[in-house]
Amino acid sequence: MLDPIYDECGIAAVYCMDVRAGGGESPVSSHLTEEGNVMRLLPEMLIDLQNRGQLAAGITRFNGAEPKIIDTFKEIGSVSDVFHLTCPDPAKFLEIMDRYRGQAGIGHVRYATCGGDDREHAQPFQRDHGRKWKWFGFCFNGNVANYAEVKAGILQKGDYHLKCDNDTEVLMHHLSYALQGDSKPDLVQVFRHIAETVDGAYSLAFLNADGDLVLARDPLGFRPLCYAVKGSLFAAASESLALTNRGFTEIQDLEPGMLLHVTPAGVRKARFAESPRKAFCFFEYVYFANVASTLNGRSVYLTRKRLGEALAEGEELDTDPADCVAVPVPDTAKAACDALAYKLGIPSLEGLIRNRYVGRTFIEGKNRIERARRKYTALPEVLEGKRVLLVEDSVVRSNTLRVIVKMLREQGRAREVHVRVACPPIMSPCSYGIDMSTVSELFAPRLLGVEPQKEYSAEELRKLSDDLGTDSLRYLTLEQLTRAIGAPENELCLGCVTGRYPTLWGDRLYQQALRLKDGPQAKRTYEDVLPSPASRR
C-alpha cells in the first residue's frame, strides 16, 4: 500500500505445559531449559508479526519461582530495537531474556488505533494484585468500537480514573471487574462479561499469576488468531507464519467466540460467546497479513494471486509486451502484479524499488509524503518510454500515491501511468482496528460522494484518475474481491467499501462520521464523541 493507514497489532503466546500431559519432543527444544523457559521464543515470533505494528513491542512472562510472578517488559520501537536483536552486543538481548525467563508468556507488537504513541500505551498491560488470579497481564489485536460508551460507563461511577485513556485500559478495567470477589471465577464467565460489554474486534491474550493463559477471539472473528500444540509446548499467534517458522505443523484457527484455556495440565477449548455470523476483515487478505500466512484456512499468497488475475480479466488497454510493463508497489502488491502480468503476457518488473530501512509507511503514518519520497526510487532503466500498469493493493487517502505517480513520470520517465487497484474503492471509515475512522480523510468519497456503490462508472473513475494525475485508474469490483478471497459477503467485514457494518456500533459510528465529515475532527470518531441519541436508539 502506497497510502499509509494504521491498523492492527499482533499478539503471540507460548506455554510450556507439564511434559507428562503432552509427551513427545518440542519442535523448538533448543529454546527450552531444564526449567521450561520459553521466553526466548517470543521475540522471534514477534519478528514474524512485525508487519502488523512497528510502534512498540513488549512481553509479559509467568514464572512461579520468582517474586515478580508476572513481569512485563515493553518499549517503543521495532522488535529488533526493543530486544536488541541487531545490536553489536548480544549480551543485552540475553540479559533481557534471562531477567524475563518463564514457563509461559505473551507478546505484542503495536501500532496505535486508540490512544497515544508513548511507552505507557504499549502492550501488554499489567495489573498487579496480591491475589494471584487477580494479578495479570494482557494484550489484544483489534479495536473497541463502543469505546466512548464503555469509557463513559466507567467514569460515571465517579471514583475511577483512566491513566492512558485508550481501549486497552478500559478492557483492563472490565477484566479486573469480572475477576472481583473472594473466590476465583470461571474464566469462561470472565470473558463472557467482555463479550457482553464490548462491541468491536479483539483477539486477546491473558496471562495471570496463577498460571492461567487464555486466548480469546471475538464473536465475529474480525482479527485472525491461530494456535498449535506439539509435545509439551503450546503456542498461539495472530498469524500462522509465527508458528510455522517455529517448527509447528498442525496449526489451527481459533473459531470466533471461542477461547483456549492453557494450564500445566493441557489445553481446554470453550465457547464464551455466541457467534451469529463471521466477519473476517477482508483487508487482512489484501494488505495487512504476511503473504506467507494462512488466515481462516485461506492462503494469503494465493488470495492475492487471484486478485491480480481478476484485475487482468477486466483490462481493456493495449498491452503489447514490447511497450508495456506491470510494476508492483512493494511488497504487498507483488503477488497480484505478477498474476496480472502473467495473465496479460507482459513483464512484471520492479520499476519501483523500496528502501527497506525506511520502514512500512502504512504502519508508521507520520510525515507520510516525505517518507514516501525517501522510501521509493523509480528506475528509468525499467520505466522510460513505457506504458506502466502500476499495481496497488488499495488506495485510502491517496497522498502517497500522488508522490509515486509523479516519481514514475519524472524520475522514471514513464510515458503513461495506469493504476490498477486490487480491491474496491475505500468509501467508509473503520472502527474495528484500521486507523481510518473519518470520512473526510478518505480519497474516493471526496470525488464520488459518500454513498458506496456496487460498481463505478467510467466517468466516475476518470474523475478520480484526473485528480491523481494518472492516465487511468481501475479498481476491482466487490464481486471480484469476494470471489478471489473465496468467501461470501456475509463471512467478511466489508464495511469500508460498502458502508454496511456487521455490528451495531459500526453502523452508529459511520453515521457519526458522516455528520462530522465537513468539520474539523481532531480525534478518531470512536475516541471523540458518543453518537447522538437519535443514532443510538
Active-site residues: which are they? Answer: 9
* Residue 120 to residue 527: CA distance in whole angstroms: 18
CA distances for 471 relative to 288, 422, 468, angstroms:
28, 17, 9
* Residue 239 to residue 260: CA distance in whole angstroms: 16
CA distances for 267 relative to 60, 170, 308, 369, angstroms:
20, 28, 40, 47
Q: How many CB atoms lie within 10 A of CB 478?
A: 21
Residue 91 makes CB contacts below 8 A (sequence gap 6+) with none
Q: Which residues pair with 127 in a beta bridge?
A: 136
CB 221 within 8 A of CB 275: yes
Q: Is the peptide bond before 124 cis (omega within 30 degrees of 0)?
A: yes
Q: How many CB atoms lie within 10 A of CB 268?
A: 13
> In the structure grid, which three cell numbers stand for residue 12, read together?
503471540
Beta strands 233-237 and 9-16 are antiparallel
Q: What's the per-residue H, E or C state across 184-237? A: CCCHHHHHHHHHHHCCEEEEEEEEECCCCEEEEECCCCCCCCEEEEECCEEEEE
Exposure string for 342-366, b = 16+ CB within 10 A, e = fewer: bbbebbbbebbebeeeeebbbbbbe
Exposure string for 215-248, b = 16+ CB within 10 A, e = fewer: bbbbbbbbbbbbbbbbbbbbbbbbbbbbbbebeb
Closest CA to 307 of 427, 425, 391: 391
Q: Which residues pair with 72 in a beta bridge?
A: 60
Residues 300/304/305/306 CA torsion (nearest 10 deg): 110
CB 178 within 8 A of CB 189: yes
> In the structure grid, which three cell numbers stand for residue 231, read together?
509435545
Closest CA to 238 of 9, 537, 18: 9
